[in-house]
Amino acid sequence: MNPRTVAAAVVAAAPIVLVVLPGFRRWLASMRTGIRLLALVAGVSVLGVLVGQGLPADAYVARYGHAVGTFLVISGIADIFRTPYFGVLLELLALSIIVCSLGRIRRLFRAPERGLAASAGSLLSHLSIVVILAGGLLSAVTGFRYAPPIYLAAGESLTVSEGGFTVRVDAARTEFSGSGVVSEYVSDVTVLEGGRELRSERVEVNRPLVHRGIGVYQYEMLPSATSVREVVIGVLPSGAEGRTAPAEWRGPIGREIAVAGTDLSLKVLEFLGDFTYDIENRTAALKSVRHANPAVLVQVTRAGRVIGERWLFPALRGHPDDDIPYRLALLDYAPDFENGLTRFEISRQPGTHLLYAGFAALSLGLCLIFWTRVPSARGPRDEVTR
């Protein structure tokens, strides 16, 4: 069952259950129940930390074996914070706090046990947890977040249908400090509605673009997956392995340059950051946008005649059948950070302000409890409600 449906059902049913079942209300109001619920949330959270969350099912089988991996996926432990039972647990905690807080309100106006500030702080901090949970629930039920990750290059666009607008990337680059360290990921974007340009913004990490309540967050920037600034190729005569170091050839994509000390010239035709071979179409292709398996396609010219083309990888390779009497390797390359691939997170979290209000109230409440006058910490042992 959809966790959102379960959450909505529990929220709707809660007041009725509390009125109809006074025993359940008393159970929720007891200190013991409150502590047990907190401990249960902590225990489930420990499980969530220890078992990586939200990975593909295969990853759990690979990590824990077939039986355990399958169990983790089927039982929901692999995505435990989105399971209905975790949602119900949080809602029980919220109900418990609400029921207890009703008693607190009565006591606050009658005769505060620990001073007015501490008692008010106690009430505030407890109710704030309900507000925080409500904020989280609101975001979960009415908000959204795009998945899987979206990578865009300059000139590409993303339509955000929920907001009725399109984000066009005009530039995506990594900026560096004087010492060569990454200083910022920058995307220059234009927002369009119905094909009309509305606004242009510079989006950076920690400086999102917010349009119609939907945030466009600069999450990551990758160097171009298909272009490089410079390539370094090692060239070694066949049979000379181990006897001499390879000659180094340097050049950008598209320029034919002679290899010093040989009769060869090289020209880099193509770069792929993550090379794979498409068997159906018999062509080289990009497996992902990350530089996981970099390769360059090189055209080799000897004495003015093109003698072959070859995909080069970081290891020195030769081929017994071709006409190139050299072993060639992609030794290094300078990534192209000017024409990067920007990764945006697109999300709308309508419960965020409620969440902030809850956290602010919680912080204030705790300061009132513990910092105005530290309570004596000698509550009556027979007290049933908080």
Partner 1 sequence: MTSGPDMPFFWAALLSYLAGTVVASLYAGLRKRPLRSAVYWLTVAGLAANTVALVVRGVQQGHPPIANLFEYLSLLAWAAVLGFVLLWRRRGLELLTVFAAPVGLCAMVVASLFPARIEEQLIPALQSYWLWVHVSLAVLGEAAFAVAFVASVIYLVGSRRGFSGLPDPELLDRVTYRAIGIGFPLFTIGALFAGAVWAQRAWGSAWSWDPKETSSLIVWLIYAIYLHARLVRGWRGAGAAGLSVAGFAMTFFTILGSRILGGLHSYG
Q: Are 265 and 257 in contact (CB under 8 A)?
A: yes
Q: Which two tokens stand for residue 45?
A: 């959270």
Distance CA 127, CA 287 (A): 50
In this structure, the number of other CB atoms found within 10 A of the CB of residue 203 comes to 21
Host H or E run for residue 339: none
User: Candidates 5-13, 190-198, 250-258, 374-382 — which segment interacts with partner 1 by CB under 8 A?
Assistant: 374-382
Q: Which residues of 326-355 are buried (b: 16+ CB within 10 A; e: fewer)?
A: bbbbbbebebbbebbbbbbbbbbbebbebb
* Owner of token pair 């090189």: 298
Per CB under 8 A, 381 contacts partner 1: yes
Per CB under 8 A, 35 contacts partner 1: yes
Q: Are 126 and 366 in contact (CB under 8 A)?
A: no
Residue 385, φ and ψ in degrees, nearest 5: -105, 160
Per CB under 8 A, 204 contacts partner 1: yes
Per CB under 8 A, 149 contacts partner 1: no
- Binding residues for partner 1 restricted to 120-139, rule: CB under 8 A: 136, 139
Per rule CB under 8 A, count of chain residues that contact partner 1? 57
Q: Which two tokens stand for residue 154?
A: 């300059």
Per CB under 8 A, 148 contacts partner 1: no
Per CB under 8 A, 106 contacts partner 1: no
Site string for partner 1, 313-352 (x = CB under 8 A): --------------------------------xxx-x--x
Closer residue to partner 1 (CB): 16 or 50 = 50
Per CB under 8 A, 85 contacts partner 1: no
Which of 183, 200, 238, 288 binds partner 1 (CB under 8 A)? It is 183
Q: Are 258 and 214 in contact (CB under 8 A)?
A: no
Query: Which residues of the chain form contacts with partner 1 (CB under 8 A)?
Result: 31, 34-35, 38-39, 41-42, 45-46, 48-49, 52-53, 81, 136, 139, 145, 177, 179, 181-185, 204-206, 208, 215, 217-219, 345-347, 349, 352, 355-356, 359-360, 362-363, 366-367, 369-371, 374-375, 377-381, 383, 386
